[in-house]
Chain A
């Protein structure tokens, strides 16, 4: 019955209610909504020509393709890792589990530039710990795609895990044990019982990581060569174009990135209620 809501709680003094409402709407408008909307306006100031011009630039097209490619690969790697790690963290006991679950969150608090620096120190071909050996075997990491993928993976590492772990904890392992008792093996139990239970959490985590991966800037900038048409991703291109006074192109590419980000959010928002229903 409490779900119906209490009049006493809902009927807060209407003055306070309006002040809070105004404050929140004003704050979000000035900080997020208006600036974001203004970028859209800026982009379409001359109709579609801004976007068309931008897409006519081969560097732009290449940067967008590269960004998409890196984001997709990083998200796939991270999803497999994230789901596996979540299962281990929730369902298994092993030494150092607590420490590991704290360390998993580390990337959230590390500056992207530090991420880049860390990878450079280990994987660069001249003085890195593993870099020279890897280059001798024909694998270039820094200033190449592997480094950019690793940087992206680093940044999005906790996102899937943070979504899946609470859902796994909530689910408990009763159903899994029931499946086991009915003769299902580990793989069948995972595919038929566990995965359907965490499906929406995984999708949510994937969409969030995709949004972050498409937009990663600092870490990728450090490890990539940033050569236009070769190792320059979309975000770095935005900065370079802006600083080269090609503002129209910068805004157009920025708009496309914002569009992707908002699209990801809308997908997530649409998924949310479904997740509660199931």
Chain B
């Protein structure tokens, strides 16, 4: 295991940012820390980097106890949401910074910087100032800067959070490919479940300072440990006292399955290829159903139509103890 986090607690005044966090992050993998804003995931990342210190608990990186080490000695690469570029240095100088600190020979530094700028597709911008780059380019530069020192682990704090949707999507794919090339243990923080599911090998779900679940994207989606995880990873709706995904609701014009609830379609919304129907059951539940347009057309769904809804066979369901949202 590359990063071992044991019994970490952190408070800011009265606010509990991390509450007894225990997590192992595997070597060579791309792990996402996923959770809502203010849930403590960034704090955990900063504690791993040594930029914040835990009140209690230990951090070890590749078998070394790093708890008391200052950030300078942890050999981690850190990428910030807002890039944290050195404004007065050229792109090449930014990337070279860590190597110059380590007093590497000039030729070696130049070579390494060249290589990294090629890797992040910024070779032609080497002598520009960061202010002349776009947001996505700045973040790629920041990534190259972090990778230059050949860190044991690479930590990214909401790395694409400040970018627009299209660039975010591109960089996300690019990060996945980059990781497949470089294989450095990588941890990134995100509040976007789609981003985490697409990019990460493993996801750690953190909420209100606690780890809710650790697992692969499929595990989390198919076997959520609790209603929070289920709700956070995808849309849910409540039917007959159970939570389930809207696309797992079976809808029919006649009572076909036992236990189906009867109701009326109160709203029908077409979003691209799918149709979202809101069914008001006679028990007073408001159930969201997602189905394909073709399916909806076959059934002839319209507002006001009487329908029967129930969980489809094989649907993932969970008793709704609390109202997740």
Task: Decide if A and B touch, CB cutoff 8 A.
Answer: yes
Give the A interface residue count (CB, 8 A).
7
Q: B46 — which chain A residues lie within 8 A by C-beta? A: 6
Residues of B40-77 whose CB lies within 8 A of A: 42, 46, 50-53, 70-71
Does the CB pair B12–A4 fall under 8 Å? yes
A6 touches B51 (CB 8 A): yes
**Residue from A1, A4, A8 within 8 A of B50 (CB atoms):** A8
**A8 to chain B: which residues have CB within 8 Å?**
50-52, 70-71
Check if A244 is an interface residue, CB within 8 A of chain B.
Answer: no
Q: How far is the CB of B281 from chain A (nearest CB, A)?
A: 42
Asked if A243 is an interface residue, CB under 8 A from chain B, the answer is no
- Residue-wise, chain A 5-18 has the 8 Å CB interface mask toward B (1 for contact) of 01110010000000
A7 touches B52 (CB 8 A): yes
Contact at A6–B52, with CB atoms within 8 Å? yes
Write the nearest CB–CB distance from B55 to chain A, whole angstroms.
11
For the complex, give the distance between the alpha carbons of A7 and B52 in Å: 5
B 65-102 binary contact with A (CB < 8 Å = 1; else 0): 00000110000000000100000000000000000000
Residue of A nearest to B42 (CB): A1
Q: B12 — nearest CB in chain A belongs to which residue?
A: A4
Q: In the assembled complex, which residues on chain A have CB atoms less than 8 Å from the CB atom of B82?
A: 2
Provide the main secondary structure of the chain A interface.
helix
B50's nearest neighbour on chain A, judged by CB, is A8
Distance between A270 CB and nearest chain B CB, rounded to angstroms: 26
Chain A residues, Cβ within 8 Å of B71? 8
Q: What are the residues of chain B within 8 A of A4 when measuring CB–CB? A: 12
What is the CB-to-nearest-CB distance from B113 to chain A, in angstroms, rounded to a whole number?
25
Residue in chain A with minimal CB distance to B38 = A1
Instruction: Report the minimum CB–CB distance from B160 to chain A (whole Å).
Output: 16
- Chain A's nearest CB lies how many Å from the CB of B4? 21
In the complex, A6→B71 CA distance in Å? Answer: 12
Kindly report which residue of chain B lies nearest to residue A2, judged by CB atoms: B82
Instruction: Give chain B residues whose Cβ lies under 8 Å from the Cβ of A2.
Output: 82
Closest chain A CB from B224 CB (angstroms): 27
A7 to B53, Cβ gap below 8 A? yes
- Residue-by-residue, is A94-126 near B (CB-CB < 8 Å gives 1, otherwise 0)? 000000000000000000000000000000000
Bound-complex Cα distance A55 to B12 (A): 55
* Docked CA distance A64–B45 (Å): 63
Closest to B53 in A: A7
Which residue of A is nearest B13, CB measured?
A4
In the complex, what residues of B have CB within 8 A of residue A7's CB? Answer: 51-53
Using a CB-CB cutoff of 8 Å, which residues 200-246 of chain A contact chain B? none
Docked Cα-Cα span, A7 to B70, in Å, equals 10
- Please give, as numbers and ranges, the residues of chain A lying within 8 Å of B70 by CB-CB distance: 8
Closest residue on chain A to residue B54 by CB atoms: A7
Smallest CB–CB gap between B213 and chain A, Å? 23
A1 to B82, CA, bound (A): 11
Interchain CA distance A7-B50 in the complex, whole Å = 8
User: Which partner residue on chain B sits nearest A11 by CB separation?
Assistant: B53
CB-defined contacts of B12 to chain A, threshold 8 Å: 4
12 intermolecular pairs with C-beta atoms under 8 Å apart? A1-B42, A2-B82, A4-B12, A6-B46, A6-B51, A6-B52, A7-B51, A7-B52, A7-B53, A8-B50, A8-B51, A8-B52
Residues of A within 8 A of B (CB): 1-2, 4, 6-8, 11
Footprint of A on B, CB under 8 Å?
12, 42, 46, 50-53, 70-71, 82
Given contacts A8-B51, A8-B71, A11-B53, 9 further A-B contacts (CB under 8 A): A2-B82, A4-B12, A6-B46, A6-B52, A7-B51, A7-B53, A8-B50, A8-B52, A8-B70
